[in-house]
Amino acid sequence: MSSVGSRPHLIYLAIGFPPAAKSCAYRMRETANQFCNEGWDVTVVTIAREAWEADYGLDLTLLEGVDPRIRVIELPLFREDLETDIRLFDEDRALRPNAWNAELRRRQVEIFPEPCFGPWKDDLEEAVLRIHRETPADLLLTTCTPYVNLAPAWRLWQEAKVPYAVDFRDGWSIDVVDGVEAFARDSAESHWEQKVLGQALCLTVVNDPIAEHYRARYPSLADRVHVVRNGYDKDSAPGYVDSTHADDGLVFGYLGTVNFTVKQLQTVLDAWRAAREQEPLLKNARFELRGHIGSGASREANKHTEILKQAEVDDVFFGGPAAKADIASLYAGWDAMVLILIGGKYVTSGKVYEYMATGLPIVSAHAVEHDASNVLRDHPLWTGAVGLDSKALADSFIRAAHMAVETTAEEHKAAVAHADQFSREKLMAAGVRIILEEYATRYAGKSAVIEGSTP
């Protein structure tokens, strides 16, 4: 591949790109595809597939939607803390795992202030410089996490003045889960963030509260901060399928990584149990959960898994990860969605959009003040945000059961239509155009890439 000629060249630092079975993979895939559509040659830099085996695993079906023109470079980088081959442990690690891990983190953050990923800095920098030497880049887009991805962007800027944009998705200096600043202003993390964002073409994040945080923290950056929401993929939304399973038992579904606390899961399961005791429509209902649980040694072998196994008596079933290609058919078999989310006003999640696109009733199991609530506000089949109170959640399950059997096909279709504004393709296309407009504005004479884009 060569950019020498008409097509400009983008280096896209996207650790988590397909086939990684990570929720960020969808945004990355669509972003890369949209750059292709806009007439760019795209080189994606990610890490080796084997590395994801130790993390959340692989989903090879994700590759099907990747534009074949995209070049993917997989670097042999692994997280040392996730190693499970005991033969590779030294005696100290085997004997004192906690102390060993603490020491590992201390060493890692000396290289770059991010535990687990810090040591990747040099390899990422060298890889980006090598790619640029081989095929000069016109633009670099880096997406985080991990934040170590900022280092190669900065290095390439320093050495070759290749402009870069940053897609933080969530944000580094804001702890989106707890809603507090994540680190001090004179910390190493803050120095990196300030330095890299200071020279960035623009910064994109997934929701308004995070954007506000960055505008307030770096006023000089304010007009270069943009919101690019996550959205849902059309190919994983079945549209509305008129096949309510009331007679055989309603099916409630959760699809996504199980990243919430055991307490939150327990609250949802308690509510489910209570709702089934109260509501005849739920007597023979099922609750299916699909997705990844745990990583490293505790993959699918943690407390969450155990609780879910024990909840089988209440017709709760955990079915493991679902391939991206199977998601549409999975949704088609469900009658209502259960949206279990961590965090609050700074968290939106990706799955809220996908859930909306099913046109099914949605039970919200998250904080009341949550960005998902903002997205769902006008959704006609939402039971509302009642917080993490098991009694109130039980009522939500009951409301959703009634919605599932009483709502007309037209109402379901209206719900699907409501979600249409959040299709990932539309949102990412707009997002990529924002980046390219910033690029064109800053680097006059390069605007042709926007005007002359070819799908």
Based on CB atoms, which residue is closest to other proteins, 200 or 293? Answer: 293
d(C-alpha 373, C-alpha 397), whole Å:
17
Give the binding range for other proteins (CB under 8 A) out of 37-45, 92-100, 127-135, 416-424.
92-100
Contact residue for other proteins among 80, 181, 248, 389 (CB under 8 A): 181
Q: Binding to other proteins by residue 54, rule CB under 8 A?
A: yes
- Angle of CA points 62, 79, 87, to nearest 5°: 115
Q: Binding to other proteins by residue 95, rule CB under 8 A?
A: yes
Based on CB atoms, which residue is closest to other proteins, 102 or 301? Answer: 301
Q: How far is the CB of 187 from other proteins (least distance, A)?
A: 8
Contact residue for other proteins among 79, 299, 379, 418 (CB under 8 A): 299
Based on CB atoms, which residue is closest to other proteins, 293 or 398? Answer: 293
Fill in the DSSP letter of residue 301. Answer: -
Give the binding range for other proteins (CB under 8 A) out of 303-311, 391-399, 401-409, 410-418.
303-311
Q: Binding to other proteins by residue 317, rule CB under 8 A?
A: no
Q: Binding to other proteins by residue 366, rule CB under 8 A?
A: no
Q: How far is the CB of 396 from other proteins (least distance, A)?
A: 21
Q: How far is the CB of 260 from other proteins (least distance, A)?
A: 14
Query: Token digits for 150?
Result: 């900022």
Radius of gyration of the chain (CA): 23
Q: Binding to other proteins by residue 306, rule CB under 8 A?
A: yes
| Amino acid at site 207 | N
d(C-alpha 196, C-alpha 410), whole Å:
49
Residue 204, Cβ density class (10 Å: 0-12 exposed, 13-18 middle, ≥19 buried): buried
Based on CB atoms, which residue is closest to other proteins, 177 or 332? Answer: 177
Helix ranges (H only) for 5-84 are 24-37, 49-53
Q: How far is the CB of 222 from other proteins (least distance, A)?
A: 19
251 and 286 in contact (C-beta within 8 Å)? yes
Strands 9-13 and 71-75: unpaired
Give the binding range for other proteins (CB under 8 A) out of 171-179, 422-430, 433-441, 447-455.
171-179
Q: How far is the CB of 94 from other proteins (least distance, A)?
A: 4
Q: Binding to other proteins by residue 87, rule CB under 8 A?
A: yes
Beta-bridge mates of residue 318: 289
Residue 251, CA distances (Å) to 16, 144, 209, 284, 363 in order: 31, 36, 34, 9, 13
205 and 171 in contact (C-beta within 8 Å)? yes
Contact residue for other proteins among 3, 53, 122, 208 (CB under 8 A): 53
Fill in the DSSP letter of residue 7. Answer: S
- Angle of CA points 121, 123, 129, to nearest 5°: 100
User: What are the residues whose beta carbons fall under 8 Å from the beta carbon of 95, sequence distance 6 or more?
Assistant: none
Contact residue for other proteins among 6, 158, 278, 310 (CB under 8 A): 310
Give the binding range for other proteins (CB under 8 A) out of 28-36, 67-75, 180-188, 249-257.
180-188
Give the binding range for other proteins (CB under 8 A) out of 10-18, 34-42, 89-97, 415-423.
89-97
Site for other proteins in 234-293 (CB under 8 A): none
Query: Token digits for 183?
Result: 């680190």
Q: How far is the CB of 70 from other proteins (least distance, A)?
A: 28
d(C-alpha 345, C-alpha 186), whole Å:
26
Q: Binding to other proteins by residue 97, rule CB under 8 A?
A: yes
Based on CB atoms, which residue is closest to other proteins, 309 or 442? Answer: 309
Query: Hey, CA dihedral for 33, 38, 41, 45, is it positive or negative?
Result: negative
- Angle of CA points 43, 47, 50, to nearest 5°: 135
| Amino acid at site 10 | L
Give the binding range for other proteins (CB under 8 A) out of 11-19, 95-103, 160-168, 376-384.
95-103
| Residue 436: strand, helix, or coil | helix
Q: Binding to other proteins by residue 298, rule CB under 8 A?
A: yes
378 and 447 in contact (C-beta within 8 Å)? no
Number of residues that bind other proteins (CB under 8 A): 36
Contact residue for other proteins among 4, 5, 161, 180 (CB under 8 A): 180
Based on CB atoms, which residue is closest to other proteins, 72 or 177? Answer: 177
d(C-alpha 169, C-alpha 207), whole Å:
8
Maximum distance among all Cα pairs of the chain, rounded to whole angstroms: 68
Contact residue for other proteins among 37, 69, 89, 426 (CB under 8 A): 89
Binding site for other proteins (CB under 8 A): 53-54, 84-87, 89, 91, 94-97, 175, 177-182, 184-187, 294, 296-303, 305-306, 309-310
